């Protein structure tokens, strides 16, 4: 009876591990199951890791947090491998421990050892199956070991290709929106753009980037734990900056630029809400990111740079309505992932990342002479 229960338990464990690996690596869609090894793994490891990081500061804290993403992939694969080995060990034991051993007595741990040498294709020869059932289990596990290795080899390149695509766009945002990025800086640096051509193109690119982040991070949620090269950059900060910029453009500008901003806002918000569901981070109260005083100063600054804004009495209220549709979600994600949200308005002027070096030297472009703003620009 005990061996029968062990066999059932081994079969169930094997099925759970294989299905979890299939959903995590192969299935290209969001998984909504409540009980999953991967979900339990990340919930039980990320929170202690994040709490430990709070004991550090500065670059050490950021470096410690950056280790989690790549390390978690290795640990997750090891957890799956251990689960498969132990499951086949239980099945071998339930089959009667039908082993030929060079020394020692058969037992549960001998079966687990046999399973481990088979899964990792060691072929030591000190333990061998004796009956037809034991040989069938050994053959199945050996084939599964090869398949598992092939899946792992294919899994890592896909993860890092998605990470590379995400980070290229974030790096390009550095010179366009500052470090850390902010909506006010992005708009200010496009103030001399005739017809908003460059701004429209940028928002179109970030609409596609948001769709790519949504697809890749839903399929491979571990990507969300991978951090950017610079401490003042992150995929969530970039996404929030684009949402802020799109919201301001929708309320404050006119023409085709507004239409593209609406499309980008819809895609970026879709990514934000869906990823909040993946990580089970319900909307949270928002700290004030843009006070009325800051908004007035931002409008005045953009107007002084030649940016013609719409004159509407409900400007602030309409902007608040749009912000309420995404800020609670990005706030919850930021707290969960331990990344700072970007400011709407930079309080302190600082050089961009491309202007700095390890020797504290700052490179600045020569001052650009702005052309006179005429009606032709609008």
Nearest to 349 by CA among 301, 280, 307: 301
For the chain, 378 residues long, give each residue's pLDDT as a single digit of tens.
Answer: 788 888 899 899 999 999 888 888 877 666 555 557 888 899 899 999 999 999 998 889 999 999 999 999 999 999 999 999 999 999 988 888 777 776 666 778 888 888 888 888 877 777 888 888 888 988 898 998 888 888 888 888 889 999 999 999 999 999 899 888 999 999 999 888 777 889 999 999 999 999 999 999 988 889 999 999 888 899 999 999 999 999 999 998 877 789 999 999 999 999 999 999 989 899 988 888 999 999 999 999 888 888 888 888 899 999 999 999 999 999 999 999 999 999 999 877 788 887 777 665 566 656 555 444 343 333
If DSSP codes are grouped into helix, strand and coil, which group holds residue 128?
strand
- Please report the pLDDT score of residue 265 as a whole number: 97
- Helix 2-21 with 58-94: angle, nearest 10 deg: 140
Distance CA 42, CA 46 (A): 6
Distance CA 174, CA 353 (A): 7
Q: What's phi and psi for 204, nearest 5 deg?
A: -65, -45
Write down how long the chain is: 378
- Please report the pLDDT score of residue 338 as a whole number: 94
Distance CA 226, CA 138 (A): 37
Distance CA 185, CA 174 (A): 10
Q: Could you state, in order of their start, the residue ranges of all structural domains in the chain?
A: 2-130, 159-377
Eight-class DSSP state of 56:
S
- Please report the pLDDT score of residue 378 as a whole number: 30
- Please report the pLDDT score of residue 85 as a whole number: 93
CB 66 within 8 A of CB 227: yes
DSSP percent split of the chain into helix, strand, coil, nearest 5: 65, 0, 30
- Please report the pLDDT score of residue 373 as a whole number: 37
Tokens 């690119």 belong to 205
- Please report the pLDDT score of residue 371 as a whole number: 46
What lies within 8 Å, CB to CB, of 77 at 6+ separation is 152, 155
- Please report the pLDDT score of residue 363 as a whole number: 63
């Amino acid at each position: 009876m005990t061996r029968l229960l062990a066999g059932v338990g081994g079969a169930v464990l094997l099925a759970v591990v294989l299905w979890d690996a299939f959903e995590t690596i192969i299935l290209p869609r969001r998984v909504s199951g409540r009980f999953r090894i991967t979900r339990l793994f990340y919930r039980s490891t990320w929170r202690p890791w994040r709490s430990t990081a709070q004991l550090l500061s500065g670059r050490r804290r950021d470096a410690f947090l950056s280790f989690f993403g790549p390390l978690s992939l290795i640990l997750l694969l090891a957890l799956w491998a251990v689960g498969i080995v132990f499951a086949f060990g239980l099945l071998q034991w339930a089959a009667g421990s039908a082993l030929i051993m060079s020394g020692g007595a058969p037992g549960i741990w001998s079966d687990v050892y046999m399973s481990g040498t088979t899964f990792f294709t060691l072929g030591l020869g000190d333990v061998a199956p004796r009956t037809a059932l034991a040989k069938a289990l050994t053959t199945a596990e050996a084939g599964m070991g090869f398949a598992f290795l092939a899946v792992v080899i294919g899994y890592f390149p896909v993860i890092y290709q998605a990470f590379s695509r995400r980070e290229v766009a974030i790096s390009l945002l550095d010179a366009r929106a500052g470090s850390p990025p902010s909506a006010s800086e992005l708009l200010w640096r496009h103030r001399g753009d005739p017809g908003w051509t460059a701004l429209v193109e940028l928002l179109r690119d970030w609409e596609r980037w948001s769709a790519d982040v949504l697809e890749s991070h839903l399929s491979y949620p571990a990507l969300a734990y991978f951090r950017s090269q610079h401490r003042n950059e992150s995929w969530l900060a970039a996404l929030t900056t684009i949402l802020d910029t799109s919201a301001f453009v929708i309320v404050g500008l006119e023409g085709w630029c507004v239409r593209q901003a609406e499309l980008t806002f819809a895609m970026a918000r879709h990514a934000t809400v869906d990823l909040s569901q993946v990580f089970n981070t319900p909307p949270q109260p928002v700290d004030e990111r843009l006070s009325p005083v800051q908004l007035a100063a931002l409008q005045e600054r953009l107007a002084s740079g030649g940016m013609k804004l719409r004159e509407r009495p409900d400007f602030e209220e309409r902007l608040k309505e749009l912000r309420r549709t995404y800020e609670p979600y990005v706030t919850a994600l930021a707290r969960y992932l331990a990344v700072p949200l970007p400011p709407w308005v930079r309080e302190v002027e600082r050089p961009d990342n491309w202007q700095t070096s390890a020797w504290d030297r700052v490179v600045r472009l020569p001052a650009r002479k702005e052309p006179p703003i005429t009606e032709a620009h609008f």
